[in-house]
């Protein structure tokens, strides 16, 4: 949920990282990202994002479900 500001969100199927979709979201917007979709968030201004996840970052297995993309990817 975008509480304030705006973000550029890049979505890519996990099995085809070259195929990307770019979405711009502003305050009041909500996005749900399906499993298997790699995604990055870039703040376009001073912004606040509230993230809700199915796993806690403290839980075992969380990092195994995370794919780190290089900056600017």
Q: What Å distances lie between residue 36 and 11, 28, 44, 45, CA to CA?
A: 10, 25, 25, 28
The predicted pLDDT at position 49 comes to 93
- Asked whether the predicted pLDDT for residue 62 surpasses 60, the reply is yes
Take residue 42 and report the two structure tokens written for it.
């870039």
The predicted pLDDT at position 73 comes to 57
In this prediction, residue 64 has a pLDDT band, given cuts at 50, 70 and 90, of: confident
Q: To the nearest whole number, what is the mean pLDDT of the chain?
A: 85
The tens digit of pLDDT for each residue in 16-43 reads 878 889 999 999 999 999 888 888 899 9
In this prediction, residue 2 has a pLDDT band, given cuts at 50, 70 and 90, of: very high
Report yes or no: 5 and 47 within 8 Å, Cβ to Cβ: yes
């Amino acid at each position: 949920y975008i509480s304030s500001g705006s973000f550029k969100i890049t979505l890519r199927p996990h099995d085809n990282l070259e195929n990307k979709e770019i979405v711009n979201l502003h305050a009041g917007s909500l996005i749900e990202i399906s499993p298997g979709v790699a995604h990055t968030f870039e703040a376009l201004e001073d912004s606040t994002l509230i993230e809700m996840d199915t796993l806690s970052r403290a839980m075992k297995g969380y990092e195994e479900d995370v794919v780190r993309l290089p900056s600017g990817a």
